[in-house]
Amino acid sequence: MALQRLGHATNLELHEALAADLPELSLTSMHRITARLIERGEIGTVATDARTVVLDARPETHDHFVCTKCGGVVDIEIPDSAINAIQQQLGTHLADAGVVVRGVCAVCRTREGSAQRSS
Ligand SMILES: [Zn+2]
Ligand SMILES: [Zn+2]
């Protein structure tokens, strides 16, 4: 499945990745298929606060880094000790949903440094 190759992707990205092999596949059916896979627990979603759902090839709970510039998603492994420290301050159990860390990825930082665009 293409999502395995992409790791993390929105329905739109996944649809684009499959378009060459499956030109008949509509974005609507794409949404329907991925919704069923999520329901069955075969794929997961990333808990970003973005409006678009980011699909995850790994169904089990894990932590993510999300780039605030390009929206890129990377799997990260936050040690239990760090999770516990955060949980103590919040009084809630974070491990259930996985932790999302936000920042600017290396690619975007390099791009920023060379282009120097203000936005
Ligand atoms: Zn980025
Ligand atoms: Zn992931």
**CA 100 to ligand 2 center in whole angstroms:** 10
Strand arrangement of the beta sheet that strand 8-10 belongs to: 8-10, 54-56, 44-46
CB-based neighbours (< 5 A) of ligand 2, an ion: 56, 58, 75
For residue 24, what are the contacts with CB-CB under 8 A and spacing of at least 6?
none
For residue 16, what are the contacts with CB-CB under 8 A and spacing of at least 6?
none
Range from 19-23, 34-38, 76-80, 96-100 carrying the lowest mean pLDDT: 96-100
Radius of gyration of the chain (CA): 17
Q: Spell out the domains of the chain, with CATH numbers in brackets.
A: 1-60 (1.10.10.10), 61-119 (3.30.1490.190)
**pTM of this structure:** 0.78
What was the pLDDT predicted at 74?
93
**CA 84 to ligand 1 center in whole angstroms:** 28
pLDDT tens by residue, 14-43: 999 999 999 999 999 999 999 999 999 999
* 98 pLDDT above the threshold of 90: no
Angle CA(81)–CA(48)–CA(83) in degrees, nearest 5? Answer: 5
